[in-house]
């Protein structure tokens, strides 16, 4: 009952102040620059030369580039691997880097919600009990001092008038920081999906190289058997057997190296999915499990800067730096605060609620900075320099993004050409190896020719598999460079936390 009565009186006391707030709100304006998004780069393509429209056919497939086509959100589905799709879904739910990014996003949103409180009156209540000794001598009296108890129940209300918009700029900065964290989450999501697909491709390539090397080992063992028979027949010297065995040992030595790389890739997959290598075994992928996307979208340059998460994150940092200039500028101007207090105090708690115990105050405070030794001006200049730094970082991020897209386009064009040539090299080396082996078994070729032919085929096969994997990985790089298509998702991406409810506030 007492609290309700106290709050009612405080409300009456604050009514006059709140009317003044409304008046000053109309007059108020936010100092500092209003943020304006940087203009898009005025270019129509990513490379100085004409961009490729289609690659040469390689390994039976050409890739076409579709200018202005939409990038699908779940771009990895274009590789037509249900096992990989299932793995990526699990990674998005369990990956610790994603969870850390989500936590930072929620933290920034909570900070934003907390910041909105500055636009409301701050209401507090207190209850104090103290035992005091008073001295009349302090006030010119001569009576003896007295000892008494004092009980105080009070409520205070204060409201900071945002006349020059410093608080609004601070909230604007917090909002930009929340945007930065949101785009960071999207960027983490994109990097995770890209790393997963690339690592799957790496496991496929390592496994294929191991299988190719094992085939060569089988052929070299057969050569040893044939050569040993020729030695027994006296047609070739025994040194031929030793030479082929040496080559066999060298070939066998490459198997552990490839197996180690395969193990590292599988361990990386486990970590990306959110498990230790002992807890989770990745699915076994082969080349047959992956389909190279034939049609590749190319986002327009003017759209790329509004879609790539890292560019949007850099823009959010630029926005925050712009708002900080307004905060520092507002600190140069006076600050205005309305405050009111209503309370009860008495030397006896039983008499605390009598009318004679009440007290109240209502006032306004104006604080103007007069001399701070240049601190405030220097802080504003520091905020301006911070904005210039963020602007330079934003521009560099855009440049890096355009370079990444340009590199990837050229890489895909050259990958197809290299793969086409490498496939021809494999076919030629295999044909030559078979011919030399037949001649060797017939006794019309020497062991050196066999070793050279085997080595050439081995290297051609390995390079072909590496070129094939590189083509897949550069295709992944293109989707990542274009931003991953998160804006085309039919549903809100599951990795982004709910936006904080925007509080509508009046200027002032």
Domain assignment present for 168: yes
pLDDT for the residue numbered 50:
87
pLDDT for the residue numbered 28:
55
Residues 6+ apart with CB under 8 A from 177: 108, 111, 112, 316, 320
pLDDT for the residue numbered 319:
98
pLDDT for the residue numbered 260:
97
Domain assignment present for 312: yes
Give CA–CA dist 34/503, Å, rounded.
20
Domains held by the chain: number: 1
**Domain extent at residue 176:** 2-133+148-488
pLDDT for the residue numbered 454:
82
Domain assignment present for 504: no
pLDDT for the residue numbered 2:
34
Question: Each residue's pLDDT tens digit in the chain (508 positions)?
Answer: 433 443 343 344 344 444 444 444 444 578 989 999 999 888 989 999 888 899 999 988 999 999 999 999 999 999 999 999 999 999 999 999 999 999 999 999 999 999 999 999 999 999 999 998 887 766 666 677 788 899 999 999 999 999 999 999 999 999 999 999 999 999 999 999 999 999 999 999 999 999 989 988 988 888 888 889 888 988 888 988 898 899 899 989 999 999 999 999 999 999 999 999 999 999 999 988 999 999 999 999 999 999 999 999 999 999 999 999 999 999 999 999 999 999 999 999 888 898 889 999 999 999 999 999 999 999 999 999 999 999 999 999 999 999 999 999 999 999 999 999 999 999 999 999 899 989 988 888 877 788 788 878 888 988 999 999 999 999 999 999 999 999 998 765 544 444 444 444 433 3
Environment class of 354 (CB within 10 Å of its CB; exposed 0-12, middle 13-18, buried 19+)? exposed
Q: Minimal CA–CA distance to 292: which of 491, 472, 41, 95?
A: 472
Domain assignment present for 138: no
- Write down the pTM of the prediction: 0.85
Residue 135, Cα to own-chain centre: how many angstroms? 66
19: CATH = 1.20.1600.10
Domain assignment present for 282: yes
pLDDT for the residue numbered 247:
87
Domain assignment present for 118: yes
Q: Minimal CA–CA distance to 316: which of 463, 155, 187?
A: 187
Residues 6+ apart with CB under 8 A from 17: 159, 338, 339, 340, 362, 364
Residues 6+ apart with CB under 8 A from 20: 338, 364
Query: What are 362's strand-pairing partners?
Result: 340
Domain assignment present for 247: yes
């Amino acid at each position: 009952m007492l609290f309700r009565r106290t709050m009612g009186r405080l409300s009456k006391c604050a009514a006059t102040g709140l009317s003044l707030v409304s008046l000053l709100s109309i007059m108020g304006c936010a100092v500092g620059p209003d943020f304006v998004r940087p203009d898009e780069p005025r270019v129509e393509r990513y490379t100085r030369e004409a961009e490729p429209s289609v690659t040469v056919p390689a390994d039976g497939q050409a890739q076409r580039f579709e200018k202005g086509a939409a990038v699908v959100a779940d771009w990895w589905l274009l590789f037509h691997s249900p096992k990989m799709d299932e793995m990526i879904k699990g990674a998005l739910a369990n990956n610790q880097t994603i969870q850390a990014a989500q936590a930072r996003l929620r933290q920034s949103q909570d900070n934003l919600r907390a910041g909105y409180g500055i636009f409301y009156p701050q209401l507090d209540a207190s209850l104090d009990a103290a035992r005091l000794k008073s001295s009349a001598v302090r006030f010119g009296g001569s009576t003896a001092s007295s000892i008494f108890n004092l009980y105080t129940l009070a409520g205070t209300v204060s409201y900071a008038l945002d006349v020059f918009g410093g608080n609004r700029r601070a909230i604007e900065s917090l909002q930009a920081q929340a945007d930065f964290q949101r785009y960071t989450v999207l960027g983490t999501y994109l990097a995770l999906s890209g790393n997963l697909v690339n690592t799957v491709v790496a496991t496929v390539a390592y496994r294929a190289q191991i299988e190719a090397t094992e085939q060569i080992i089988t052929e070299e063992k057969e050569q040893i058997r044939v050569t040993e028979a020729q030695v027994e027949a006296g047609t070739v010297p025994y040194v031929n057997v030793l030479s082929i065995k040496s080559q066999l040992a060298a070939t066998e030595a490459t198997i552990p190296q490839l197996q180690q790389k395969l193990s590292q890739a599988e361990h990386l997959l486990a970590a990306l999915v959110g498990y230790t290598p002992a807890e989770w075994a990745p699915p076994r992928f082969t080349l047959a499990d992956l389909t190279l996307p034939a049609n590749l979208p190319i986002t327009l340059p003017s759209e790329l800067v509004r879609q790539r998460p890292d560019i949007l994150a850099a823009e959010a940092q630029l926005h925050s730096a712009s708002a900080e200039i307004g905060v520092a500028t507002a600190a140069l101007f006076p600050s205005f605060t309305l405050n009111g207090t209503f309370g009860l105090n008495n030397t006896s708690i039983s008499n605390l609620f009598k009318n004679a115990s009440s007290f109240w105050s209502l006032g306004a405070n104006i604080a103007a900075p007069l001399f701070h030794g240049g601190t405030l001006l220097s802080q504003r200049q520091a905020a301006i320099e911070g904005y210039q730094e963020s602007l330079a970082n934003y521009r560099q991020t855009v440049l890096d993004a355009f370079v990444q897209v340009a590199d990837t386009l050229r890489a895909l064009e050259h990958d197809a050409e290299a793969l086409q040539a490498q496939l021809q090299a494999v076919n030629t080396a295999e044909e030559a190896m078979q011919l030399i082996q037949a001649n060797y078994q017939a006794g019309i070729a020497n062991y050196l020719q066999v070793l050279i032919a085997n080595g050439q085929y081995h290297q051609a096969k390995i390079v072909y598999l590496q070129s094939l994997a590189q083509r897949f990985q550069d295709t992944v790089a293109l989707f990542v460079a274009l931003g991953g298509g998160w804006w085309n998702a039919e549903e809100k991406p599951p990795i982004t936390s709910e936006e904080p409810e925007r509080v509508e506030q009046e200027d002032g």
